[in-house]
Amino acid sequence: MNQIKNFTKGFIKENPVFVLFLGLCPVLGVTTSAINGIGMGLATTFVLVMSNFVVSLIKNFVPDKVRIPSFIVIIASFVTIVELTMQAYLPSLFEALGLFIPLIVVNCVVLGRAEAFASKNNIFSSIIDGLGIGLGFTFALFLLGSVREILGSGSIFNFKFIEGDGILIFILSPGAFIALGYLIVLVNKLKKKGA
Amino acid sequence: MEYIIIVISAIFVNNIVLSKFLGICPFIGVSARIETSIGMSGAVMFVMTIATLVTYLIQTYLLDKLGIGFMQTITFILVIAFLVQLVEIILKKVSPSLYQALGIFLPLITTNCAVLGVALMSVQNNFNLMESVVFAIANSIGFGLALIIFAGLREHLELADVPEPFRGVPIAFVVAGLLAMAFMGFAGIV
């Protein structure tokens, strides 16, 4: 029961994007379509799960003072793995996400979970935590990506349902800020109703 | 002429915050007041310029020479973390007044993706040493400009009667969207 709660907290209650406002750069940068959002989210989830796993594995051997630098090295290694794998097998997605793949290193969500959760908990719950937060992050990216794709280009998963262009501003940068702002409002409203 | 294009493009057309979406965390986090945003911009300018210079040298003389380009991400983030620490220690000793002004912002910069982003971008664009430095300075000015304008807007926003669910971060995002829209007017200059 506890593990289930641990897993589901990332979706709404501790959603890194809508509630904690962490790791917002890729959230705004790559969500021009739903599929980009999912790709970025899954890449981040992989890094989160693996880094949480390794951090909780070594937590008893690393001296407290060099904790943060060693976390960063672990995270950077997994980011490099993702980067090279994606470049080899998914070149078009790699092209679309561009700079934001190496920038997973400085995504505060990843370092935040390593420091706040994995360095204090056992291996199994750290993996579950990474999976939950990562999928919550993916969910947020997917939501914002779909909103922007539906409004901006009138399609979903590259399946077009209107003729011509949509409201172009939502594909451009201002639309990212405005769409995210309104999604947060919606989440706030829902949270208030639930409470 | 080339330098002027790099500068104008980095500050206005491809503004690092409003059109490239780098450094959003400090953009939302420390933009509540104009003074703090000026301090943050100063610290970013300092670190970004030095970091881009050093990572350029490392990329050219170490990673490319040895053919270990795949170590780029790991090396760059460690160099930046190390530099931030170094800058902090040196500033504390050399100029305590500047340290007082920038002090609290310096540790935050390690996780500022704008710094790593600019270092990576100047490698991707194949800039030479001088171009990289100019690119870094221009981008940090662009960051400062966006941050300070945004802080000014948010100070005024405090006086406005905002509907409840919008209060705080959501309305800040909507305002940032409008600001980004204003910056889109610069598109096509270069």
Contact B77 A178 (CB under 8 A): no
How many CB atoms within 10 Å of residue A159?
7
- pLDDT exceeds cutoff 90 at A156: no
From the list A160, A161, A180, A162, the residue with the least C-alpha distance to A170 is: A180
Contact B78 A169 (CB under 8 A): no
Residue type, A49: V
Q: Please, where are the H alpha helices in A9-63? A: 24-29, 34-58
- Please tell me which residue of chain B has the smallest CA distance to A99: B117
Instruction: Give residue ranges of A with CB < 8 Å to any B CB.
Output: 21-22, 24-29, 69, 72-73, 76-77, 79-80, 83-84, 99, 102-103, 105-108, 111, 169, 172-178, 180-182, 184-185, 188-189, 192
The angle, 0 to 180 degrees and rounded to 10, between the axes of the packed helices B72-94 and A67-89 is: 150
pTM of the model: 0.86
Interface test with B, best of A177, A184, A188 (most B CBs within 10 A): A177
Helix (H) or strand (E) holding A156, with range, is strand A155-156
Residues 6+ apart with CB under 8 A from A22: A16, A107, A108, A109, A112, B25
- pLDDT exceeds cutoff 80 at A60: yes
- Please tell me which residue of chain B has the smallest CA distance to A79: B73
Contact A108 B111 (CB under 8 A): yes
Beta-carbon-side half-sphere exposure of residue A37 (alpha carbons within 13 Å) = 28
How many CB atoms within 10 Å of residue A39?
24
- pLDDT exceeds cutoff 80 at A86: yes
Higher pLDDT, B142 or A166: B142
* Domain parsing of chain A, residue ranges: 2-187
If phi over 0 gives left and psi between -120 and 50 gives alpha, with beta otherwise, what is residue A166? Answer: beta
All residues of chain B having their beta carbon less than 8 Å from the beta carbon of residue A173 are: 18-19, 21, 180, 184
Enter the tokens of residue A68: 């943060």
Quote the Cα angle for B178-A99-A94, to 5°: 115
From the list A148, A146, A143, A147, the residue with the least C-alpha distance to A172 is: A148
Mean pLDDT, residues A124-149 = 91
The Cα A174–Cα A159 span in angstroms is 24
Question: C-alpha A118: how far from its chain's center?
Answer: 17
Contact A105 B78 (CB under 8 A): no
Q: CB contact, 8 Å: B25 with chain A?
A: yes
| A20-38 CB burial, b ≥16 within 10 A, e <16 | bbbbbbbbbbbbbbbbbbb
**pLDDT tens track of chain B, all 190 residues?**
788 888 888 888 888 888 888 888 888 877 778 887 888 888 888 889 999 999 999 999 988 888 888 888 889 888 888 888 888 888 788 878 777 766 667 777 776 788 889 999 998 888 889 999 999 999 999 999 999 999 999 888 888 888 888 888 889 899 999 999 998 888 877 6
Residues 6+ apart with CB under 8 A from B184: A172, A173, A174, B19
Residues 6+ apart with CB under 8 A from B81: A69, A72, B110
